[in-house]
Chains A and B, each alone.
Chain A
Amino acid sequence: MSAATETAAPPAAGTKTDAVIDVENVTHLFKAHRALDGVSFRVSPHSLHGFVGPNGAGKTTSLKLICTLLKPQTGRIRVFGHDVRDEVKAIRRRIGYMPDHFSMYRQMTVFEYLDFFGAAYGFSLKERNRIVADVLALTDMDGRKDDLIQGLSRGMQQRVSLARVLVNDPDLLLLDEPASGLDPRARIELMEILRELKRMGKTIFISSHILSELAELCDSVTIIDRGKTKYSGPMEHLLHREAEHPTYRLRLDVPIDGFDQTLAAMPGVIEVVPAEGKPEYRVSIDATATDHSALLRNVLDAGASIMVFQKDQRHLNEAFMDLTERGVRQ
């Protein structure tokens, strides 16, 4: 599937009226370098929206534009219906931005750091006590609240950074590579926190390179490459887009010689890919000519003993590779 086809009609992740983030034909240049080139996408309320792209694709620039650190040169960005150009304060009250690098006052303790941001957002002492306790509990940092930030591990600092973002109880979280550099345990724990935040009704816009976790976590996704939107829409749609040629994974209990040819000869089968070293096949069918029940019946009729039969989902990695171009952006 060509990238051009995807760009031609990116499905909307949220309707124009209710979108939390509405990016419309945004172009941004750094001197002669075109960081964004007519980027458009929308993010629905209470969704977890993945933002994926190769290095230098324009992800961080997009995030900085959305969080009002940069002003768009052409096009329009609305966050909760407010224009990022001239309604900065209204947007900043409702967002929490976590950049891809740690930016913390390392000579403060965890509690002081969160307390400081609570005060900076204008909360009273009583409110701050409650808020800081809540975010420490949510990020599982209450046992380390008196530790100096400079003495914490990277994973712990990442949690403090996330806790800081939550201090003002934002409706929208903008997270730039929150899992980069974390060990597997810290990554899994972070994903758990994000799931919990989504359950709490937050909208989360997350840029990440860890596609497997995004596929599991996100409702919708935007894929960006070389400053252009390649896909924006529901994750389901991206992963199940071969509706006309669905693929199934079939694993036999006992190997049968030449069974790939038997499968290929069955009505409606258009492709059979055998796995190496095990009696397993990926079978693509023509949905207009047959369906999975007929295929299963034919396999059983052929005398095969089935161990696994399931729809073979396209992985986000494959979609990403299909939609993005090879090589480093100049």
Chain B
Amino acid sequence: MIARTLALLHRALRVDARMLRTHLFRAALVGIVIFALSDAQNSWAGAPGLEFFSWLQFYNFWFITFAGATFFPTCVTEEKEELTLGLLKLAGVNPLSLLLGKWTPRLLGAVLLLSVQFPFMLLAITLGGVLMHQAVASYCALAAHLLLVGAIGLFASVVCRKSTGACLLAGTLLAGLILGPYIAIGVAEVLANAGILSDSTAALIAAACGWVLNTSAILRIDAIMATGFNESPLSPQVIANLVVSVALFAASWALFGPCTRNELASVAAGGGWWSRLIRVGRGRPWSMAIPWKEFSLTCGGAPVIVLKGVAYAALIAAITTYSALAMYGYSNPDLSEMLAAIMLTTMLVVLFVEAAVIAARIYRSEIRDQTWPGLILLPRTLPETAYAKLAGSLLTLAPATALLLTGFIIEPEYLEEFLEHVIFDEAILGFGYFMCQIVLFLHLTTLLSILWTWAAWPVSIFFAGFIVIMGNALVGSCCTLSGPVDDEAIFFVGSVCSSVLIVIVHLWIGQQLSRLAAA
């Protein structure tokens, strides 16, 4: 068994070492750390080492969490999608060897990726403010967190048939783990205040959530960075994370057999319930055939639109009920105003998320399924085909857009305020800059989704967001270094530069789509 596990591990490490992208990622991470160092240099006060080290560890935490949610869940699903799992089984590789062989290299890869910052950790200690045992404790906390994220990813990878589903499951579990306790405490408190829940039950929920929060690496790092920290590196967080990781690995091992049986049939079926759902009321193609195809097939068509409308309405109703109960007794809230405000903010977030998902999937699925050349050979130009697909995809935003407009109809004052303060005021430049960043992010998502066909599409969303956020941080840092600058001038120049970048990325996408049609 060990020989087979080592063979898989050896192969994975060799492949990883040969690939240019892993080295580019390392270089990018070092670049970010150096940028943070130069940025922090300006604001250093009493404990520069601690300040820099804190930044480094929080950045590590979020990087592990976000990147891990897309990096680990593909370790088994990629074999399922390539239909190679059966071959590995035929070669006598048992489930444990396979899990270890596929999972351990990714774990090691993540450690190696983060190891490039080791010299900077030494620099932080040299700068002062942080002690060696604080560094050791924080790296123990992060290692346990990495193991937990990896185990969640592995579990999702075993349970789900496709990489997309695995990434979504892992992301949901991680979000639940990090945000869930806060939400549960808040809801319990509100329900207790409203008399729906007894005080003892609310206290019990709060205690349970408090225990879960104690196992969170982010709170542990916060505690480690406090002055006078002198605890053992083997904290309850580390132990809890390790125990949950082992349990998840054991569950993955136990479920591996049942979940990977009928590999060929399960992948070829392409998701039975989804296939049946999207065929409900599909009808004949419209005269605008490509938008019809995009709307009916890729976006799910009318059944998915109805489901989304119901789900969003339920979400708004739940948040409004929670807010009303939370405010009950403190003030007398205007319910229609509250509903409109919640509708607007929730739907803006939903629209942003949906737009990102569309951007990541719009061309990628055609390229992956090799259907792109068939569309390109229709007697129309590449832009005509590409924009027709976009038009069909945008129809899927109808439920969120309708609810957003309903929010404005319920409370027209919000629209007036928006027009008055944003469009007709000096804030227009800031708003323009913000919109440029959104458009740039969506363009980058599309570009990365077709360039990085080796990764699941959520990876392109994560990295596009990362690039835009870091780019803005870099601009902000440069502005701070150059002394006092007029905000309007920054927004204006930033918008122009972003627009140029958008045009470049836009043309690049076109060039890639043309190239991939003939690949």
Interface residues of A (CB under 8 A from B): 64, 67-70, 88-90, 92-93, 95, 97, 99, 101-108, 112, 115-122, 124-125, 128, 148, 150, 164
Q: Which of B279, B286, B374, B517 is packed against the most chain A CB atoms within 10 Å?
A: B374
Tell which of B6-14, B318-326, B375-383 binds the partner. Answer: B375-383
> In the complex, what distance in Å separates the CA atom of A50 from the CA atom of B517?
24
Residues B266-323 near A (CB distance < 8 A): 268-270, 275, 278-279, 282, 284-287, 289-290, 292-293, 297
Q: Of A102, A116, A148, which contacts B289 at CB under 8 A? A: A116
Q: Is the CB of B517 within 8 A of A89?
A: no
Closest 7 CB pairs of A and B: A119-B289, A119-B285, A120-B289, A69-B518, A92-B379, A103-B370, A93-B379
A98: nearest residue on chain B (CB-CB)? B374
Which chain A positions have C-beta within 8 A of B373? 69, 97, 99, 103
Which chain A positions have C-beta within 8 A of B371? 103-105
Smallest beta-carbon distance B81→chain A, Å? 14
Q: Is the CB of A125 within 8 A of B284?
A: yes
A69: nearest residue on chain B (CB-CB)? B518
Q: Is the CB of A121 within 8 A of B275?
A: no
When each residue 477-519 of chain B gets 1 if its CB lies under 8 Å from chain A and 0 otherwise, what string results?
0000000000000000000000000000000000000000110
B284: nearest residue on chain A (CB-CB)? A115
Which chain A positions have C-beta within 8 A of B285? 112, 115-116, 118-120
Q: Is the CB of B379 within 8 A of A150?
A: no
Does residue B425 face the partner (Cβ distance < 8 Å to A)? no
With A107-B278, A115-B285, A150-B269 as given contacts, are A89 and B377 in contact (CB-CB < 8 Å)? Answer: no
Q: Of B287, B377, B518, which contacts A119 at CB under 8 A? A: B287
Q: Of A69, A107, A128, which contacts B517 at CB under 8 A? A: A69
Which chain A positions have C-beta within 8 A of B279? 107
Q: Is the CB of A103 within 8 A of B278?
A: no
Does residue B417 face the partner (Cβ distance < 8 Å to A)? no
Q: Is the CB of A121 within 8 A of B378?
A: yes
> In the complex, what distance in Å separates the CA atom of A64 from the CA atom of B516?
12
Q: Is the CB of B290 within 8 A of A120?
A: yes
Smallest beta-carbon distance B496→chain A, Å? 34
B290: nearest residue on chain A (CB-CB)? A120
Q: Which of B269, B270, B289 is packed against the most chain A CB atoms within 10 Å?
A: B289
Which chain A positions have C-beta within 8 A of B374? 103-104, 117, 164
Which chain B positions have C-beta within 8 A of A89? 379-381
Q: Is the CB of B377 within 8 A of A105?
A: no
> In the complex, what distance in Å separates the CA atom of A128 from the CA atom of B292?
16
Which chain B positions have C-beta within 8 A of A99? 370, 373
Q: Is the CB of A70 within 8 A of B518?
A: yes
Which chain A positions have C-beta within 8 A of B287? 119, 122, 124
Interface residues of B (CB under 8 A from A): 268-270, 275, 278-279, 282, 284-287, 289-290, 292-293, 297, 369-381, 517-518
Which chain B positions have C-beta within 8 A of A120? 285, 289-290, 375, 378
> In the complex, what distance in Å separates the CA atom of A124 from the CA atom of B286?
10
Q: Is the CB of B289 within 8 A of A92?
A: no
> In the complex, what distance in Å separates the CA atom of A128 from the CA atom of B285?
10
Q: Of B270, B381, B518, which contacts A106 at CB under 8 A? A: B270
Q: Is the CB of B517 within 8 A of A103?
A: no
Which chain A positions have C-beta within 8 A of B290? 120
Which chain B positions have C-beta within 8 A of A69? 373, 376-377, 517-518
Q: Which of A103, A115, A118, A148 is packed against the most chain B CB atoms within 10 Å?
A: A103
With A89-B380, A101-B370, A119-B286 as given contacts, are A150 and B297 in contact (CB-CB < 8 Å)? Answer: no
Smallest beta-carbon distance A88→chain B, Å? 8
Which chain A positions have C-beta within 8 A of B269? 150
Smallest beta-carbon distance B116→chain A, Å? 31
Q: Is the CB of A107 within 8 A of B377?
A: no
Q: Is the CB of A116 within 8 A of B376?
A: no
> In the complex, what distance in Å separates the CA atom of A88 from the CA atom of B375?
14
> In the complex, what distance in Å separates the CA atom of A90 from the CA atom of B293?
24
> In the complex, what distance in Å separates the CA atom of A95 from the CA atom of B377?
9
Which chain A positions have C-beta within 8 A of B369? 103, 105-106
Q: Is the CB of B377 within 8 A of A150?
A: no
B269: nearest residue on chain A (CB-CB)? A150
Which chain B positions have C-beta within 8 A of A90? 379
> In the complex, what distance in Å separates the CA atom of A108 from the CA atom of B283?
11
B283: nearest residue on chain A (CB-CB)? A112
Q: Of A67, A88, A108, A148, which contacts B297 at CB under 8 A? A: A108
Q: Is the CB of A150 within 8 A of B270?
A: yes
Which chain A positions have C-beta within 8 A of B286? 119
With A103-B369, A103-B371, A150-B270 as given contacts, are A112 and B292 in contact (CB-CB < 8 Å)? Answer: no
Which chain B positions have C-beta within 8 A of A106? 270, 369
> In the complex, what distance in Å separates the CA atom of A78 from the CA atom of B518?
19
Which chain B positions have C-beta within 8 A of A150? 268-270, 275
Which chain B positions have C-beta within 8 A of A92? 377-379
Q: Of A88, A101, A105, A124, which contacts B293 at CB under 8 A? A: A105
Q: Is the CB of B284 within 8 A of A64?
A: no
